[in-house]
Amino acid sequence: MKKKFDVTGMSCSACSAHVEKSVRKLAGIKEVAVNLLANTMQVTYEEELISDQEICTAVVEAGYGATVREMLSNKQEKPSEKKQNITQIEISHMKFRLVVSLIFSLPLMYISMSHMFSLPLPVFFHGTENAITFAFTQFLLTLPILYVNRNYFIFGYKTLIKGAPNMDALIAIGSSAALLYGVFAIYYIGYGLGHQELGVVRQYVADLYFESAAMILTLITFGKFLEIKSKGKTSEAITKMLDLAPKTAVVLRNEQEREVPIEEVIVGDIVFVKPGQSIPVDGTVVMGSSFVDESALTGESIPVAKQKEDKVIAATMNKMGALKIIATKVGNDTTLAQIIQLVEEASSSKAPIAKLADQISGIFVPTVITISILATIGWLMAGATFDFALSIGIAVLVISCPCALGLATPVAIMVGTGKGAERGILIKSAESLETAHKVDTVVLDKTGTITQGRPKVTDVIFGSDINENELLQIAASLEKQSEHPLSIAIVEYAESQAITLLVVEEFQAVLGQGIQGKIGGTQFFAGNIKYMQENHVTIESFLEKGDALAGNGKTPLYFANDKVVLGIIAVADIVKSTSKAAIQQMMEQGIEVIMLTGDHQRTAEAIQKEVHISKIIAEVLPQDKENVIRKLQEQGKKVAMVGDGINDAPALVRADVGIAIGAGADIAMESADIVLMKSDLLDVVTALELSKAVIKNIKMNLFWAFFYNIIGIPLAAGVFYTFLGWKLNPMFGAAVMSMSSVCVVSNALRLKLFKPSRDQQKVEGQANFISLNQKEKEERKMKKIISIEGMMCNHCKKNVEKILGDLDGVVSVVVSLEGKSATLELSKDVSNELLTQTILDADYQVVSIK
């Protein structure tokens, strides 16, 4: 059983460490993760051995508060909305405390420091005869500051009594010591005035320390105010998503359209969405067509076309037409709710890098208190005055900052996971985020990962007795009777060309070979070479072309009548437009990229050649993919497996980091550590880069937190005073301590500026376009692109390259079979007539010249 608890009263990493320790020692507890930033605790436990109430009791006995965060129904407030409200209340409360503290601390500082800067004061504050007035006024101004900041004392002394002091305890002890010394001084001033010992009066008037107590509390409250405001910014990604979700929906009730609160929508409701409105629930389009902007959830900037039977996601924007959808997921089952849950769970989890900070936090505060006492005693023994030794002790207490240690990791993880969510990259745990930055080998499944995952027609080659449209009409009419993926690809292509299908009679299918049927009384065949040969069809004239297509990783399908082959339609699983660039970027970053596929070696090699991947492993059964990953790990490699999350599940689980690509609405894939909502390999690069950026940020935060304390505590203890004369004023120590936490949070917020390399390349590309614009215009005059029909194979390609390359003025020729074009770079103008005649003489057709 896994449950989340809201914990109150925590102020630093010592608190979170103590809460974690108190719960972890209970029987039946498997795992505990306390998040100081979110004030939550995630507990995995055996419900037969321990109850929620016992866990809450353990937290309460440790000096804090705890309540179970219940599973939400559709009508309850979302955790993130609740957290937003709590954050706003915290900011308002802290702002009130800060304002009151400033109102009373400013006149207090003026009175106490006026003699140092020769500032004017009322006459009743001057002279030893007015010493009591001078001191007691400062005491009265300090009291409101103590009252509004009483939580430091309440929680601080409570944790001290429990034997687990935290940052509040350091503040409470430090400010209490300064306050008590000031009260002690007032009594001595009264004694001196009563006994005419003016030397005693002058001594204690100069060492009241009320301003130290007040300014310690004021500066720390100021730091906390900035910290809470900064913390609120860490979850802006989720806040933006929540703002996208509409509060109401228009549904069909009793045959009428009614606007109802979103909480009242149920599965099966018919929901109406007008152009410009956000879609309120996950569902399926039953009427209408439109373009939907899914960028907020998937990071895809181009609106996606939607029509009948297409799925739509809650919180996406309907851009054009009106849609009528049937609700399939509502409330906490929607994709948006699952994204928010994933991001929150990742933010609540702990990265292994945080363990050292947690271990130190557990002993940090008791160690600081011990150092403070020893430093005070040491200076007294060395002959220093009591007020000097006391200021040393107070400075040690207030400069020490366990907060920076506690915030170093969670703030970076929360901002990082939120930044990933903005781009449709969902990171399930802090551990997988940390592991990802160590990945040195990425294994890519071919189908659906490198390629589009669905076959498409790439080439249509026809003989002299038929034209392209006639071949497509016969082929599609036959294939329409079959449900094979290759058949579907041909039918879709024919429909896109507005081809009218014919009636097929006596249809037959031969498993693994082909299909046949009669159209208008004529027998036609469709299939592989073996099927053609078995039906005594003459195929020789097309064999070379078919071999060339197969050599390029395509599947040639032969179409024939009862005598001869009429033509070939080649079908292939097309490589995604971004796959080559993504693979190149990973290789440039020193990552070994391996393609894993169940396809034949020849097909795999064709894909390898196209995307320039370094290594392929072909003819691997789905159940054996996991074994390949294990063998790579045995070689000492950190492996990330990228797949579609269906037949790749065992390999995704085995890998150090499992990345499910193209999840869309199915984001709750248990087998994956990172879920990519888009089917874009560049998002894998972005995920790895984001991981490196977050871990780098965490290391910077931890360095600052350790460095600050390692330097600050000895400085406050007076270690450098003897030979350098450096002594830290307690007020300055409090200011520095407050700023240390703010610095850590602010540094983590820099992750909001994270830009993946794909974005930087776009910017560079735009800059290059602007700077080279004139040059490109000039170059464009010296380039011609010829569209050519009739090229069928590599021999055709080489022939066209040769005949055009031999022309005077042609510098280079690049021929594309797939693009059916030749791109010429010219040193001088070559007439279109000459180019056309040259190509016609070689038995090819010129469609156009640009």
Q: How high is the pLDDT of residue 72?
A: 43
CB 567 within 8 A of CB 573: no
Residue 428 and residue 490: Cα distance in Å, rounded?
A: 40
Inform me whether the pLDDT recorded for 232 exceeds 80: no
Q: How high is the pLDDT of residue 524?
A: 94
Mean pLDDT of 508-525: 88
Mean pLDDT of 761-779: 48
Q: Token digits for 728?
A: 């830290």
Give the pLDDT band (50/70/90) at residue 50: very high
CA distances from 763 to 586, 685, 767, 770 (A): 19, 17, 6, 11
Name which residue leads in pLDDT, 649 or 202.
Answer: 202
Mean pLDDT of 593-611: 85
CB 575 within 8 A of CB 450: yes
Q: How high is the pLDDT of residue 390?
A: 86
Length of the chain equals 850
Q: Quick: pLDDT tens for 93-137.
A: 989 999 999 999 999 989 888 877 778 888 888 888 899 999 999
Beta bridge partners of 606: none
The per-residue b/e assignment along 357-382, b for 16 or more CB within 10 angstroms, e otherwise, is bbebbbebbeebbebbeebbebbbee
Strand, coil or helix: 415? helix
CB 571 within 8 A of CB 486: yes
Inform me whether the pLDDT recorded for 664 exceeds 60: no
Q: Token digits for 120?
A: 């004017």
Inform me whether the pLDDT recorded for 689 exceeds 90: yes
Mean pLDDT of 353-375: 80
Residue 773 and residue 208: Cα distance in Å, rounded?
A: 73
Q: How high is the pLDDT of residue 591?
A: 94
Residue 4 and residue 13: Cα distance in Å, rounded?
A: 19
Give the pLDDT band (50/70/90) at residue 150: very high
Give the pLDDT band (50/70/90) at residue 563: confident
Give the pLDDT band (50/70/90) at residue 770: very low
Q: Quick: pLDDT tens for 522-559.
A: 999 999 888 898 888 888 889 889 888 888 878 899 99
Give the pLDDT band (50/70/90) at residue 82: low
| DSSP secondary structure of 775-813 | HHHHHHTTEEEEEEE---SHHHHHHHHHHHHTSTTEEEE
Q: Which of 17, 46, 813, 717 is nearest to 370 (CA)?
A: 717
Helix (H) or strand (E) holding 824: strand 821-826
**Strand-pair category, 674-676 with 657-660:** parallel
Q: How high is the pLDDT of residue 270?
A: 94
Residue 503 and residue 296: Cα distance in Å, rounded?
A: 47
The widest CA-to-CA distance across the chain, in whole angstroms, is 132
What percent of the chain shows pLDDT beyond 70? 89
Residue 313 and residue 91: Cα distance in Å, rounded?
A: 34
Q: Residue 834's CB: how many other CB atoms inside 10 A?
A: 12
Q: How high is the pLDDT of residue 781?
A: 46
Lowest mean pLDDT among 236-240, 416-420, 788-792: 236-240
Ramachandran bin of 718, using left for φ above 0, alpha for ψ from -120 to 50, beta for the remaining angles: left
Residue 164 and residue 11: Cα distance in Å, rounded?
A: 13
Q: Which residues contact 647 (CB under 8 A, 6 or more apart)?
A: 622
Q: Which of 168, 269, 445, 599 is catalytic?
A: 445
Name which residue leads in pLDDT, 162 or 504.
Answer: 504
DSSP assigned state of 1 = -
Question: What is the chain's mean pLDDT, rounded?
Answer: 83
Give the pLDDT band (50/70/90) at residue 483: confident
Strand, coil or helix: 169? helix
Q: Quick: pLDDT tens for 425-475.
A: 888 888 888 899 999 999 998 878 888 878 889 899 998 888 999 999 999
Q: Which of 520, 540, 539, 530 is nearest to 478 (CA)?
A: 520
Residue 353 and residue 333: Cα distance in Å, rounded?
A: 33
Q: Token digits for 137?
A: 């006024």
Sheet of 270-273: strand order equals 256-261, 248-253, 270-273, 323-329, 282-287, 311-312
**Strand-pair category, 639-643 with 441-445:** parallel
Helix (H) or strand (E) holding 217: helix 210-234
Q: Residue 95's CB: how many other CB atoms inside 10 A?
A: 14
CB 607 within 8 A of CB 631: no
Ramachandran bin of 205, using left for φ above 0, alpha for ψ from -120 to 50, beta for the remaining angles: alpha
Q: How high is the pLDDT of residue 241?
A: 65
Strand, coil or helix: 522? strand
Q: How high is the pLDDT of residue 424?
A: 85
Mean pLDDT of 755-778: 56
Most confident by average pLDDT, 139-148, 168-177, 282-291, 347-356: 139-148
Q: Which residues contact 322 (CB under 8 A, 6 or more apart)?
A: 272, 273, 274, 275, 288, 290
Helix (H) or strand (E) holding 133: helix 131-148
Q: Token digits for 733?
A: 């120590």
Per DSSP, the chain holds a count of helices (H) and strands (E) of 31, 30
CA 65 to chain centroid: 31
Give the pLDDT band (50/70/90) at residue 593: very high
- Annotated active-site residue 358? The verdict is no
Give the pLDDT band (50/70/90) at residue 138: very high
